[in-house]
Amino acid sequence: MFTSLSDRLTSTFKNLRTKGRLSEADIDATIREIRRALLDADVAVAVVREFAANVRERALGAEVSGALNPAEQVVKIVNAELVAILGGEARTVRFAKNPPTVIMLAGLQGAGKTTLAGKLAHDLRSKGHTPLLVAADLQRPNAVNQLSVVAERAGVPVFAPHPGVAGEDEVPTGDPVAVARDGVDTARSREHDVVIIDTAGRLGVDAELMQQAADIRDAVTPDEVLFVIDAMIGQDAVLTAQAFLDGVDFTGVVLTKLDGDARGGAALSVAKVTGRPIMFASTGEKLTDFEVFHPDRMASRILDMGDVLTLIEQAERAFDADEAEKMAAKVASGQDFTLADFLVQMQQMKKMGSMKKMLGMLPGMGQMREALDNFDEREVDRIEAIIRSMTPGERENPRIINGSRRARIAKGSGVRTSDVNQLLERFSGAQKMMRQMNKGGGGGMPAMPGMGNLPGMGGKKAKGRTQAPVRKKGKSGNPAKRAEQERAAAARAAGERPPSAPGSAFGGGLGSPTKAEASGDVELPPGLDKLLGR
């Protein structure tokens, strides 16, 4: 969502870093570019004006003039001000001392309240709570049925005593206030510790909508009133949020459709204008595409500094700890990383969600925007299909996969033989890297291929002298000669004498003498020992 804003800000700071000292004119030019970028991103004018004034005041002060790297200091200031307008600190649900905790959802029709109710219930259930969904939206066609389907997918019960309306022409007959009140009583009797009430919305703000929301709030006295807003509606988000704040007085904001391609001004405006924190964000259609909103992490994403903490949290939820321990023990024992292991890792990565989202959380990925946009999510499925088309023996030992086997695997997985070849080549490289990492153990980081023994990477250095670099002889282009070199290298690694080169000058090898020859324990032909003085 923040792609355009992120690109503009990154470009501005890139130009700033080329200057060793910043003048007032440089800072004014930078503030001007930041102001334009924020206005183009649909951020409220009042928020932009205050943001630019704060950045300029801090940038012209001693905070930047005395810094060793003024440009980096300006980036730090912008980051801090972004965190401030996004709400400062993350906040989650405040649970009631005496259960159940009542959470009421409010917002316009189409903002995604019903889907969000299921996502929030699923998240709370995964943390050990026992939520109950209450269907108090009786005016939108099939809203009750939709909530029942979402509740079933989330694995939580739903309280829906009234079916609601089934079509546009039907007139609502149920009482949403009574449904909400009875839902809280039912949750208390069934010992549910959280109640999530899905309320009706309108296409626009009107008196009837506000009155109904206020009546439900007065009837159930919720612990949290969450205002659900579509992050793609731009400047209108601020007006809608202000209207709901005056009419219902919500305690927190939830942003939906944050995975869209809109400019994202709502996210940067609503918290500052209303004074209420953004608590959660919906980032996709799946029940798991739901996360706590962290202002500092969002600011890092906007400034292309990545969001590694969220990536780690997602990995911890998706990856099986037992499988990770088994894999670590296998690598430590010197066993080879196999395609079966690779398949397990791929399946666990798929649980984390979209690969594009994961890659986008890495620092500096904004510079690879085109490559990310062109990344095909189906590539992961193709790789999984190729590996599943192999026999268990082929997964354990890919070296046995010859031409006919590759053709069979390609046919079984619905891909070309070249795709199978590419996968095996990439896997061979990954396998070599795993072996190198295993050999590089000891005191420090493993020695990575092509990096040598850098400081702290396990290589020991003799005291008082500098070791001369070891020149490595290149491999021959002749296949027969190269094979001979590889056999000799393998023999040296095993501590054996290299085999004699066939066709050498005197009909024998020129290698170093064996231990028996060096010690004189060689059986000589009769009479030859006298000539040698033995």
Q: Is 178 annotated as a binding residue?
A: no
User: Is it the case that residue 118 has pLDDT exceeding 90?
Assistant: yes
What is the mean pLDDT of the segment spanning 373-378?
68
Q: Is 199 annotated as a binding residue?
A: yes
CA dist., res. 51 & res. 48, Å (int): 5
Q: Is 113 annotated as a binding residue?
A: yes
Strands 252-256 and 158-159, bridge-based pairing: unpaired
Task: Please give the mean pLDDT across all residues of the chain.
Answer: 76
Residue ranges and CATH numbers for the domains of the chain are 3-85 (1.20.120.140), 101-303 (3.40.50.300), 313-439 (1.10.260.30)
Q: Is 259 annotated as a binding residue?
A: yes
User: Is it the case that residue 61 has pLDDT exceeding 90?
Assistant: no
> Exposed e or buried b for every residue in 54-90, given b needs 16+ CB within 10 A?
bbbebbeeeebeeeeebbebbbbbbbebbbbbbbeeb
Minimum mean pLDDT among 102-116, 410-424, 426-440: which range?
426-440
Terminal CA-CA length for the chain:
90
pLDDT at 506: 35
Q: Is 16 annotated as a binding residue?
A: no
Answering whether pTM is above 0.75, one says: no
Give the confidence band of 186 by pLDDT, cuts at 50, 70, 90.
very high
Q: Is 458 annotated as a binding residue?
A: no
Task: Name, in order, each residue with C-beta under 8 angstroms of 254's C-beta and a sequence gap of 6 or more.
Answer: 105, 116, 226, 227, 228, 229, 278, 279, 280, 281, 282
* Contact present, 258 and 265 (Cβ < 8 Å): no
Q: Is 334 annotated as a binding residue?
A: no
User: Is it the case that residue 442 has pLDDT exceeding 70?
Assistant: no
Q: Is 123 annotated as a binding residue?
A: no
Q: Is 201 annotated as a binding residue?
A: yes
> Exposed e or buried b for every residue in 492-509, given b needs 16+ CB within 10 A?
eeeeeebeeeeeeeeeee
367 Cα distance to chain centroid: 17
User: Is it the case that residue 459 has pLDDT exceeding 50?
Assistant: no
Q: Is 202 annotated as a binding residue?
A: yes
Minimum mean pLDDT among 10-14, 54-58, 73-77, 99-103: which range?
10-14
CA dist., res. 150 & res. 290, Å (int): 14
User: Is it the case that residue 13 has pLDDT exceeding 80?
Assistant: no
* Contact present, 104 and 183 (Cβ < 8 Å): no
Q: Is 257 annotated as a binding residue?
A: yes
User: Is it the case that residue 507 has pLDDT exceeding 50?
Assistant: no
Give the confidence band of 103 by pLDDT, cuts at 50, 70, 90.
very high
Q: Is 200 annotated as a binding residue?
A: yes
Q: Is 320 annotated as a binding residue?
A: no
The string of pLDDT tens digits covering residues 139-159 is 888 889 999 999 999 999 999
406 — phi, psi (to 5°)? -65, -40
Q: Is 108 annotated as a binding residue?
A: yes
Task: Name, in order, each residue with C-beta under 8 angstroms of 49's C-beta and a sequence gap of 6 or more.
Answer: none
* Contact present, 9 and 37 (Cβ < 8 Å): yes
pLDDT at 15: 73
User: Is it the case that residue 500 has pLDDT exceeding 90?
Assistant: no
